[in-house]
Structure 1
Amino acid sequence: MSTRLTSGFWVSAYLARLQLAGIPAYVTAKGDKTAGAVVVKVALLDGTARAYERRSDLTTGARVWMELADGPEREVDVMLIRQRLRDPDLWVIELEDRAGRTLLDEDGLSS
């Protein structure tokens, strides 16, 4: 049996890792501290952005980060507004990184 971290704790730890890596990050929507879902948006600083959400992989059952949107930043922002209207418990974390680094593939964040 695996223990899941609360969303608030995970977000705090993630922001600390991003800060150590020199990746600017901001919480633009604060969700439920216990069980709110998290979306990570990375602005590539060229007018485009990507958004990622954590989902269950249907083939393995593992929880993985999957791309939710990729395109003009304005369109990604509109999609995030719609997501937030459907789920007020949703956390939205925005990063700024020209290389698109999110650190979501690193140990402790990837699963």
Structure 2
Amino acid sequence: MVMGLTTGLWVSAQVRLCDRAFIPAAVVRRGDPDAGTVLLKINRFEHGVTVYTQASMMDDGPAWSRGTGPEPVTEAVADAYIARQVQYDPDVWVLEIEDRKGVYKIDGKIV
């Protein structure tokens, strides 16, 4: 995550930021509190769901890739993707954000 922050602290901060912006957010799966990978499930309801996964950047800044592809998918497709990732990496965190209006801004670049 951001240099100097554990994954657990970063996730907690994101939940708090969402709470302050009246955006429902929930940690649906806790992973390794120090260094677990994070999946962000952004549910835009009628606009679809996108799951973002952490990506590595050369400059060590936070970056995300669209794990479910370039276009939003159904919630069932997103949940299946998350289930596959959890099987691959049991230390993964899953943060679900219900952002009907598209207000939430991801911390970092989307690659």
Q: Deviations over 1:59-106 (max 9, x none)?
A: x564312211131111011010110111110000001112333321xx
- Shift of the 61–3 alpha-carbon distance from structure 1 to 2, 3 Å rule, reads closer
Aligned partners of 1:76, 1:100: CA distance in 2, in Å? Answer: 17
TM-score (norm 1): 0.83
Q: 1:13 corresponds to which residue?
A: 13
8 Å CA contact 1:50–1:76 kept in 2: the answer is: yes
Q: 1:64 corresponds to which residue?
A: 63
Aligned partners of 1:72, 1:3: CA distance in 2, in Å? Answer: 33
Q: 1:38 corresponds to which residue?
A: 38
Gaps of 5+ in 1: none
Same amino acid, percent of matched pairs: 33
Pair 1:49-2:49 in alignment: yes
Q: Deviations over 1:17-64 (max 9, x none)?
A: 011111100111100000000010011122721011121136x56431
Q: 1:96 aligns with which of 91, 95, 98?
A: 98
SS in 2 for 1:71: coil
Gaps of 5+ in 2: none
Aligned length: 105
8 Å CA contact 1:6–1:34 kept in 2: the answer is: yes
TM-score (norm 2): 0.83
Q: What root-mean-square deviation, in Å, do the aligned CA atoms of Structure 1 and Structure 2 show?
A: 2.0
8 Å CA contact 1:42–1:49 kept in 2: the answer is: yes
